[in-house]
Amino acid sequence: MIKKILKVSAIVAFATVVLNASSYNAQAEKDRLALRDYMMKKFSNPLKDRAKFFPYSTDKELHDGSLIAVKNIEDFRLGTYAFAKNAKEQYDDIKEMPPYLDNIDAGEEIYNSNIAIKKCFPNPAIVQNYPMFDEAKRKVITLTGAINNCLKAAGQKPWSWTKGKIADLEAYFASMTQEAGKRIDIKINSKAAQAAYERGKKEYYSQRGYLKLSCANCHVQGAGKRVRAEYLSPLLGATTHFPVYRLKWQSLGTLERRIKGCEKNQGETPHKPSGQWTAEMLYFMAYMSNGLPIDGPDIRK
Ligand code: HEC
């Protein structure tokens, strides 16, 4: 009997711990599920739901097959290529001989030759956990930040936050993570982490710049619509595939680099890629893609 009571109370205690740990992400979970639901509804039959989701799209855009239905939620890791048929065909062509293969090799060489890096990241398949909330430092650390922190701690000079060596190393990490079949797994385990998530979310939904646009205007409500020749990608899946080789850049870049470009598009002076503003924004964005497979490095226009 006593044994049984002990067992039951152990289970209750365990359940309480689990509940407490998970309750910090309760709102984030609601947000994530709502976003998944919205995107699946929006893209599972763009023609049928035209009045609701695409009131301003032309017949041509909807009928000539350039906008196709998304059947599998995991396709959102492809950004616009999940639903933009013509662009997807070009993407598939480039993927046959992707321009980032040399970057992965360069990244592997950096990993094997830099003892400090190897010591900080004994397992290179770790992309799924970043950005993470560092409970000791009480701030969000992106993968780029973690690499630079590691270099600094070893007395080495930090690298650029946006391109070059850091992007190469992240390309190697991403390809190892993809090979290991990992899915995005962002944790919110404390009140401070929850507050960082909420700040990131607030910034994502805030209108700013002289155009008074929020990120969400383009990547939530606007996802699937066209801006000049480009379709807008959904927030869901926005962080699964970095670093990215952009044809526009003709080089590889980190998530921090990509965000900077979009802030400029918004008509705003970009925040520092190494600052908490950027890290918290990415923390929120990555949480939204929890459960989607890591798919980097990848290519984008
Ligand atoms: C005026 C519309 C607009 C606004 C506002 C905007 N973006 Fe973008 N964004 C684009 C366009 C166009 C692209 C390139 C096509 C695509 O992938 O969506 C893009 C691409 C991206 C990508 C790359 C997606 C991928 O699949 O690789 C990310 C990440 C991103 N934006 C984040 C943001 C963030 C964060 C904000 C707010 C700070 C923001 N964007 C604001 C138009 C916008």
User: What atom of ligand 1 comes closest to residue 233's alpha carbon?
Assistant: 18
Testing ligand 1's pocket by substitution, the residue of 232, 241, 277 carrying the most ligand atoms inside 8 A of its CB is 232
* Torsion sign, CA atoms 137, 197, 73, 95: negative
Q: Is 262 a catalytic residue?
A: yes
The answer as to whether 4 is a domain residue is no
Q: Is residue 23 part of a domain?
A: no
**Percentage of the chain exceeding pLDDT 90:** 76
Q: In terms of Cα–Cα distance, which of 283, 275, 28, 287 is closest to 133?
A: 283
What pLDDT, on a 0 to 100 scale, did the predictor assign at position 291? 98
pTM of the model: 0.92
Per-residue pLDDT at 22? 61
Give 209-232 pLDDT, tens digit per residue: 888 999 999 999 999 988 877 899
Length of the chain: 301
Of 59 and 297, the structure prediction assigns the larger pLDDT to: 297
Work out the average pLDDT over 34-48.
91
> What token pair was written down for 283?
């923390």
**pLDDT tier for residue 77 given thresholds of 50, 70 and 90:** very high
Reported as a pLDDT band with limits 50, 70 and 90, residue 43 is very high
Domain CATH code at residue 119: 1.10.760.10
Please indicate, yes or no, whether residues 90 and 196 belong to a single structural domain of this protein. Answer: yes
* Token pair recorded at residue 284: 């929120």
Answer yes or no: do 109 and 207 share one domain. Answer: no
Please tell me whether residues 200 and 284 are part of one structural domain: yes
DSSP state at residue 70? -
Residues 108 and 93 in one domain: no
pLDDT tens by residue, 234-277:
999 999 999 999 999 999 999 999 999 999 888 889 999 999 99
Around ligand 1, the residues with Cβ closer than 6 Å are 79-80, 213, 215, 217-219, 227, 230, 232-233, 238, 244, 258-259, 262-263, 265-266, 281, 300
Q: Domain check: are 212 and 175 in the same one?
A: no
**Among 268, 243, 236, which Cα is nearest to 258's?**
243
pLDDT tens, position by position, 279-291: 999 999 999 999 9
287 lies in the same domain as 241: yes
Using the mean position of ligand 1's atoms as its centre, give its distance from the Cα of residue 76 in Å.
14
Last residue of a domain, one of 128, 156, 179: 179
Q: Is residue 14 part of a domain?
A: no
pLDDT band at 147 (very low <50, low <70, confident <90, very high): very high
Instruction: Give yes or no for a cis peptide into 273 (omega within 30° of 0).
Output: no
7 lies in some domain: no
221 and 244 in a single domain? The answer is yes
* 211 and 89, same domain (yes or no): yes
The parent domain of residue 124 ranges over 101-179
Amino acid at 222: G
Phi and psi torsions of 67, nearest 5°: -115, 110
pLDDT digits (tens, 9 = 90+) for 106-142: 999 999 999 999 999 999 999 999 999 999 999 999 9
pLDDT value, residue 63: 64
Strand order through the sheet with 244-246: 251-253, 244-246, 298-300
